[in-house]
Amino acid sequence: EVQLLESGGGLVQPGGSLRLSCAASGFTFSNYAMSWVRQAPGKGLEWVSGIYGSGGSTFYADSVKGRFTISRDNSKNTLSLQMDSLRAEDTAVYYCAKEMGITYDSFDIWGQGTMVTVSS
Amino acid sequence: DIQMTQSPSTLSASVGDRVTISCRASQSISSWLAWYQQKPGKAPKLLIYKASSLESGVPSRFSGSGSGTEFTLTISSLQPDDFATYYCQQYNSYLLTFGGGTKVEIK
């Protein structure tokens, strides 16, 4: 069964850091681009960051550029998002999502999401 | 960045109705458009990709059309399970962007 399982969410103070992980199973992980997509409470979907299947190229939304770092370990089928200098506006459910191709594409598989709350 | 504008933001309809949701891109995205359905507390689900291709397992009452900057999601006969929020998404290039969403409510 194709599956994505996120972990690492929680409560963090403004200015703090958090690292999200996404464990993938049921497909050849290195063959697909992956992204993080977030959804603030009661709001719409916002793409946060993406990485090619090879891991050679990474991309970020302007709202997180310079603060977040996406990475992947194809040997462990794991996607990560290192989030630094967190702000209240980063509070959201963070979804790990598999893209249909090796570069940017539509998202055919989503994780269940992990909640990140930035508050003092 | 490519901006995606959905309309309407809310739609009230009855079971059996034909429903149409529009999505407009701020510049041409060819056919690089997807549609998702999301229910409260759940992850989004892919319905349509490449503007008109039906994802495997999605009922045939869902269809997509359009190219360039104008796109449409149509539900031919609304079913009780279809009351949800729908999002369009462009993938012409990174930065990927979503529309603001259309909530389909029971009339």
Place of tokens 């009922």: B59
- Strands, E assignment, A13-111: 18-25, 34-39, 45-51, 58-60, 68-73, 78-83, 92-99, 107-110
Q: Enumerate the residues of chain B whose CB falls inside 8 A of the CB of residue A112.
A: 43
Place of tokens 């269940």: A112
Using CB atoms within 10 Å of the CB of residue A69, give its burial: 0 to 12 exposed, 13 to 18 middle, 19+ buried: middle
Mean pLDDT for chain A?
97
Q: Enumerate the residues of chain A whose CB falls inside 8 A of the CB of residue B101.
A: 44-45
Identify the pLDDT of residue A83: 98
CA-nearest residue to A33 within chain B is B94
A67 membership: H or E segment, kind and range: none
Q: In Å, how far is B14's CA from the nearest CA of chain A?
A: 24
Cis, bond preceding A14 (omega within 30 deg of 0): no
- Interchain pair A44, B101: CB under 8 A: yes
Per-residue confidence in pLDDT tens, chain A, 120 aa: 999 999 999 999 999 999 999 999 999 999 999 999 999 999 999 999 999 999 889 999 999 999 999 999 999 999 999 999 999 999 999 999 999 988 888 999 999 999 999 999
